[in-house]
Structure 1
């Protein structure tokens, strides 16, 4: 794969001079852990459906990383090849990334909610050479889906099935044979290590174009975010990180996979969010930090209160992905005894702003935090003029952790000659420098921290035989932050109900989390004189209906 990460080289000298890029990779960090604390618990992974608990010391983690790396090399994976990984938070996910890094391959994390529609596009666009997937997870046959997709993707040469029972299983190909002891293993592992500016991660994000965009990150860009993030939150080697947010998101990947290794700390993975199980895991493992979206905090707070099972070790819960209600912060502080931190970020940068542990609790529900060191933000008007504190406008940022660009989409990079990135979000900045996201110019709905690609869903909805006009808009939800509603004008004589709409999307292999959960049939769409649908009026109409219900 040839990567067009055009945003890296022009700022390298400045980032090094300013001390934001450290020219280290995850290989250096893992090796340092083995040298300093080889027998310390590095990773604990809980499997909900099987009850399995798998534990690795740092010595064992590095040994398995070497083993899987040589195994991947035996399968033809070379430097800059894409290894797609559609796994839940299983130990095989962590080891796949570490193994890729050993031989200079690039991991492409894929959400396990993706089905043929989303997955097919991403695998083709990224030209993945190898796909690692479960055999079955939560009742869905991933092996069958992967096999059907492989026929239409010439570049996809190999499938590896976790829990598989054949010759293509993860154990048979990668984790079982002692590949690290092979005569050529040392040469393979030493000759193919990537540099800090090589692409290490390709991760897709949804935007306004209707197609996912492949975000390219290097070790320098990811670590430039993780280091100040950990320092601000006072995280160190004694921290035990619970990660139930998917590692196929930047939240899980950067702060549940990479950060614990960089801190010489311990990571605990939970593959299925179940609050009672989370409480058990926190108490058993002594988890002290976690990061997740608002529904996770809501569930955990309610369950702790209902079951009278305290979680005294959990010192900090960083909540991002949707605004945090003030009542939830107050309740969580009282029930959990945990400091609630709010944050805002992007796949392209990781966390951009966070509140501080020293801040009053009020900051967590009135702001989205201060920029991390190495990050600059400004709010501008339609002409690009910087606005004074308190005025809302377009949010721009310039960050040491800014991505390398969108794979084969450099025209969408959105970064100007001075490295300012147009986030696509609207915000205001107060006199103390705290930001508050006030809206999104991107046409994306965030449901429980998951971005819903509105344009893609609308395009599919317009192909429904009963639909004349369609628009997808958000409506507020206490638990998920937002949910999606389909507003539809029908063709004469046609009918449509919610059950039929859901079945239509399912038949088109749409991920369940993307399917609208409400349907409104309208006689006509509110529109401008030029015919553009006025979504703000649809939202107002929807809010009125919800209020009167």
Structure 2
């Protein structure tokens, strides 16, 4: 194959990996911590990583023999371990990778894998701690029963015959033939996402999309060959796979994988500063909840002088967290903003200037951002994105998701004069009170400015008069206490837009989060829907009725009501209409 002299000369992901192996073969590519108590790790060089990818690519291609003209698909159900990286890049070299969240139900996984026309499933083998292998077997059986060919099942670990590592040993580690390799506009991967609206979809990523993310990393993160960075995010998420993963490869950095659980491992958080010292980590970070947990842990005697800065992303970063990071570490916290449909990158840190608290990051070429409806700098509107990182569409959807190349993100925000991007909320998350549009971020930022509050999330409480009333849920810093009355007074004193002042504030031990740690607002909406229904029924004399809010697979909210009153169903029908909710009535004995 053609030898390239610079990472940015790569035209596909495989060429980028080969460049890293050719130029930095002896450097450490992956450091996998099998344990942090005691410290135990495994290291893999760039040359060894390339050889393993070559072996895996040949293994997969053998399994694609019946896939005809299309490039075969490898669905991956693995934690953030070295085999996940090997499988991902190998699948992209000779086919299409389909990394999936192992926490999804078997039905959801079967649906996504059927849509992807999966040829191979690489999954964590049977073990006492997870049911991933059982799900993989169930999915394979379901796909076969529905008239398709059963995918080949390959296990990583566990006592089953088809073992990934053993099968790799049977393959050649030589470079792949040129005729097997993809072009830049070939599809490299399907990443599952809810899209900007609607049901979960499989977003198409081309090799050019993913390389754009890798190049953005080396252009903005000031990473040098051999620098160590922590990647504690899951590989089914674009930030873990592409920003931290492929970006580290483009920089020839040492990617530290902090156990199979990543930042979901409490011991990793507890020992984070020791980890920074032990591996001379230059950059660490994650979602805001993880970063908040890190800085909530004392540095102690750990030498963290190797740390240059920290990053936060995947969700809005609370304003107070910037100060917390600098106070604890002496370095700045920068934000990163991206989405699956942009291969993970829209805004990146601008390390040439001090961090801008509240900013989601800096916009630089080749990324273009347009604020729909904005006439002047600072005007708010929906954020639209254009550039080579923007995906070509969703698998199986013929309609073009772009308008003249522009992707509507569904996020609301604005740009300042220095091209820093500010995210103020989601278009669909607007709380509409008597026709007044309320941005939840206004409430959330106010409450997060209170010294006792770590995180806040605002949603609408269904109301028969106003449509919705703003309510807020908060999570406190460890060892902090505050009364609801004090938080209500704080909001009253600091929110100038009176209709936006929350009518209720609820203190939770922990806000509900997704598998990647983002605050899950549908769960909070289920709580408010349940409360609104229960209170309305109580006001009408139904004191013995039970109401339970739940999030449906579609993302919608349903309230189940159980009671024995004769006219309960009729009352709930009227209530559902008035509150704009779905209410299901179950008769109780």
How far off is 1:529 after superposition? 9.3
Match status 1:482 vs 2:519: yes
Q: Which position in structure 2 is the counterpart of 1:457?
A: none
- Distance in 2 (CA, whole Å) between partners of 1:472 and 1:96 is 46
Q: Which position in structure 2 is the counterpart of 1:145?
A: 135
Match status 1:89 vs 2:76: no
What 5-or-longer segments of structure 1 have no aligned partner?
Answer: 1-19, 447-451, 455-469, 535-549
- Distance in 2 (CA, whole Å) between partners of 1:59 and 1:94 is 14
Match status 1:367 vs 2:359: yes
Match status 1:323 vs 2:313: no
Question: Residue 436 of structure 1: which of 403, 410, 422 is its match?
Answer: 422
- Distance in 2 (CA, whole Å) between partners of 1:437 and 1:39 is 41
For residues 149-548 of structure 1, the aligned pairs below 5 Å read: 149-153=139-143, 154-172=148-166, 174-175=167-168, 177-180=169-172, 189-207=177-195, 209-270=197-258, 271-272=260-261, 273=263, 274-305=268-299, 307-349=300-342, 350-361=344-355, 363=356, 365-381=357-373, 386-411=374-399, 413-416=400-403, 418-442=404-428, 475-477=473-475, 482-483=519-520, 484-485=523-524, 486=526, 487-488=529-530, 489=533, 494-496=545-547, 532=580
Are the equivalent residues in 2 in contact too, given 1:21–1:400 (CA < 8 A)? no
Are the equivalent residues in 2 in contact too, given 1:497–1:519 (CA < 8 A)? yes
Question: Residue 16 of structure 2: which of 16, 25, 29 is its match?
Answer: 29
- Distance in 2 (CA, whole Å) between partners of 1:371 and 1:35 is 32
How far off is 1:332 after superposition? 1.0
Q: Which position in structure 2 is the counterpart of 1:106?
A: 96
The structure, 1 or 2, with the larger RCO (C-alpha pairs under 8 Å, 6+ apart) is: 1
How far off is 1:300 after superposition? 1.1
What 5-or-longer segments of structure 2 have no aligned partner?
Answer: 1-6, 431-439, 442-456, 460-467, 477-509, 512-517, 563-570, 583-589
Question: Residue 118 of structure 1: which of 76, 91, 108 is its match?
Answer: 108
Q: Which position in structure 2 is the counterpart of 1:80?
A: 71
Question: Residue 124 of structure 2: which of 127, 131, 134 is its match?
Answer: 134
How far off is 1:230 after superposition? 2.4
Secondary structure in structure 2 of the residue aligned to 1:202: strand
Q: Which position in structure 2 is the counterpart of 1:540?
A: none
Q: Which position in structure 2 is the counterpart of 1:545?
A: none
Secondary structure in structure 1 of the residue aligned to 2:244: helix
- Distance in 2 (CA, whole Å) between partners of 1:520 and 1:496 is 4
- Distance in 2 (CA, whole Å) between partners of 1:524 and 1:22 is 63
Are the equivalent residues in 2 in contact too, given 1:315–1:337 (CA < 8 A)? no
| CA deviation vs aligned residue, 1:210-261 (integer Å, no higher than 9, x gap) | 4211111112111123213321221221421210011211101112321122
User: Structure 1 residues 344, 529: closer, same or farther in 2, change over 3 A?
Assistant: same
RMSD: 3.9
Match status 1:47 vs 2:34: yes
User: Structure 1 residues 520, 276: closer, same or farther in 2, change over 3 A?
Assistant: farther
Q: TM-score, with normalisation over the residues of structure 2? A: 0.71
Secondary structure in structure 1 of the residue aligned to 2:294: helix
Secondary structure in structure 2 of the residue aligned to 1:100: helix
- Distance in 2 (CA, whole Å) between partners of 1:526 and 1:95 is 56
Q: Which position in structure 2 is the counterpart of 1:58?
A: 46
The worse-fitting range, judged by mean Cα deviation, of 81-90 and 201-210 is 201-210
Count residues in correspondence: 468
User: Structure 1 residues 255, 399: closer, same or farther in 2, change over 3 A?
Assistant: same
| CA deviation vs aligned residue, 1:118-166 (integer Å, no higher than 9, x gap) | 3222112111111111124682221111111212212442111111312
Q: TM-score, with normalisation over the residues of structure 1? A: 0.75
Are the equivalent residues in 1 in contact too, given 2:548–2:561 (CA < 8 A)? no
User: Structure 1 residues 276, 56: closer, same or farther in 2, change over 3 A?
Assistant: same
- Distance in 2 (CA, whole Å) between partners of 1:472 and 1:135 is 46
User: Structure 1 residues 209, 393: closer, same or farther in 2, change over 3 A?
Assistant: closer
User: Structure 1 residues 114, 529: closer, same or farther in 2, change over 3 A?
Assistant: closer
Q: Which position in structure 1 is the counterpart of 2:493?
A: none
- Distance in 2 (CA, whole Å) between partners of 1:427 and 1:231 is 24
User: Structure 1 residues 256, 431: closer, same or farther in 2, change over 3 A?
Assistant: closer
How far off is 1:309 after superposition? 3.0
Secondary structure in structure 2 of the residue aligned to 1:43: strand
The worse-fitting range, judged by mean Cα deviation, of 423-432 and 307-316 is 307-316
Are the equivalent residues in 2 in contact too, given 1:21–1:221 (CA < 8 A)? no
How far off is 1:390 after superposition? 2.3
Secondary structure in structure 1 of the residue aligned to 2:292: helix
How far off is 1:298 after superposition? 0.8
How far off is 1:107 after superposition? 0.7
Are the equivalent residues in 2 in contact too, given 1:319–1:341 (CA < 8 A)? yes
